[in-house]
């Protein structure tokens, strides 16, 4: 993850997603913000629920991200683009209005992250994602 290699970029994006999910579970987005550029295209949309969760002080229930597939791709705009298919299992999320927990079935995600190597680490500069009950097809 901390090496300027294709595998390092793959592990860095996998870690970014794990930290994003952890932020949804805890409200602490400090590390998440350090892993992305200030101008990261797509990152705010992917993490759009965080401000509301932080405002309510209620978060997603605990779970572990389940890897499906990770692949590296050439990129015109970044050092690497990483494709990551993953699942999150049954979990709870607070109702946006009441804050009461709502049970969610597993959710499938497909994400593509654009990563660039800085002086000593990978940083996410772009992110596109889709999620739902059957996005892996």
Report pTM.
0.96
Q: Among 19, 8, 32, which Cα is nearest to 118's? A: 8
The DSSP call for residue 62 is P
CA distances, 123 to each of 12, 20, 33, 45, 87 (Å): 8, 14, 10, 17, 23
Report the topology of domain 6-132. Answer: Nuclear Transport Factor 2; Chain: A, (3.10.450)
User: For residue 2, how many other CB atoms are within 10 A of its CB?
Assistant: 11
Domains of the chain by residue range? 6-132
Cα–Cα distance, 113 to 118 (Å, whole number) = 15
84 with 13: CB under 8 angstroms?
A: yes
> Tens digits of per-residue pLDDT, 61-88?
999 999 999 999 999 999 999 999 999 9
């Amino acid at each position: 993850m901390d090496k300027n290699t294709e595998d390092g970029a793959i592990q860095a994006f996998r870690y970014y997603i794990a930290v994003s999910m952890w932020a949804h579970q805890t409200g602490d987005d400090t590390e998440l913000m350090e892993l992305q550029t200030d101008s990261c295209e797509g990152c705010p949309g992917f993490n759009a629920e965080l401000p509301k969760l932080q405002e309510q002080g209620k978060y997603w229930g605990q779970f572990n991200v389940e890897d499906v597939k990770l692949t590296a791709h050439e990129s015109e705009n970044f050092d690497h683009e990483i494709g990551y298919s993953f699942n999150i299992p049954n979990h709870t999320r607070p109702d946006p209005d009441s804050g009461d927990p709502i049970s969610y079935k597993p959710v499938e995600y497909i994400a593509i992250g654009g990563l660039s190597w800085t002086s000593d680490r990978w940083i996410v500069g772009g992110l596109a994602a889709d999620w739902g009950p059957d996005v892996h097809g």
